[in-house]
A and B are shown apart, each in its own frame.
Chain A
Amino acid sequence: MTVSELVSASGFDVQCAPCPEKEISGVYIGDLLSWVMGKASQGDLWLTIMSNVNVVAVASLADVSAIVLTEGVVLGSDVISVANSKGINVITTNLSTYEAALKISGIIQ
């Protein structure tokens, strides 16, 4: 399933989607950046509440398919412009991380 298909099926909001056709291979949840670096797999959706600019570098280097910000967190416009330039998709939802994960699980099986 691609990021854009997940967005349609979930109703999550898109903050930026420079690469909507990226394939989703799984999900990783975490806010500690070096845990994410060490544990996330290529193509994972990354669920987090961290919103500083460093999430963009981590997403880029760990090759995640998209950052999914939960709990109503959004990235500032300066961070979004960096994400756009690095080809990082950013999705947001007001759901809790748990609820968002359940919803994603139901969509990607």
Chain B
Amino acid sequence: MSENLTFRFNVEGDDFTSAGQASVQVKKNLRQLGLDSEIIRRVSIAMYEGEINMVIHAGGGTAEVNVCEDYIEIILEDHGPGIKDIEQAMQAGYSTAPDSIRSLGFGAGMGLPNMKKNSDTMTVESTVGVGTRIVMRIMYKEGCV
């Protein structure tokens, strides 16, 4: 693969009936490319958590998935409220999700930890009042950064 393959999605904010659609589509696309199922699973989980966070916490955003030679890259960008304390947000169990969202099963504060766990590299850039940009890479093989 010399040419990178890119998938782009708009993620609607506050729409819980179609939430996760982009991730489900990416999973389908990656399956068609014949990628290893464990890699696909890690990409799916990492992307889903990021997608849902944009729906719940940021009023929507965009997702881009690049299929590269050695890794898959997921770029999530939103113009939501931003994250004041990233370190705190990354902690398992930390959540600001309102009760209405918790009743749907969200708000365990496990999304960002799941993204970290399922990706090989993850960077979170966020500015309060401006938005959040998260880049995750999932390597096909260990040691191919």
The answer to whether B24 touches A38 (Cβ under 8 A) is no
Given contacts A58-B20, A61-B24, A61-B44, contact A42 B108 (CB under 8 A): no
Is there a chain A Cβ closer than 8 Å to B75's Cβ?
A: no
Given contacts A34-B111, A37-B48, contact A54 B24 (CB under 8 A): no
Is there a chain A Cβ closer than 8 Å to B84's Cβ?
A: no
Q: How many residues on B have C-beta within 8 angstroms of the other chain's C-beta atoms?
A: 25
Report which of A31, A38, A42, A63 forms a contact with B105, defined as CB distance below 8 A: A31
Q: Which of A33, A34, A58 has the largest count of B CB atoms less than 10 A from its CB?
A: A34
In the complex, per-residue mask of B68-84: 1 if CB is within 8 Å of any chain A CB, else 0: 00000000000000000
Report the separation of the CA atoms of residues A22 and B111 in the bound assembly, to the nearest whole angstrom: 27
Instruction: List A residues 1-43 near B (Cβ within 8 Å).
Output: 31-35, 37-38, 42
Chain B: residues with CB nearer than 8 A to chain A?
16-17, 19-21, 23-24, 27, 37, 41, 44-45, 48-49, 104-111, 113-114, 117
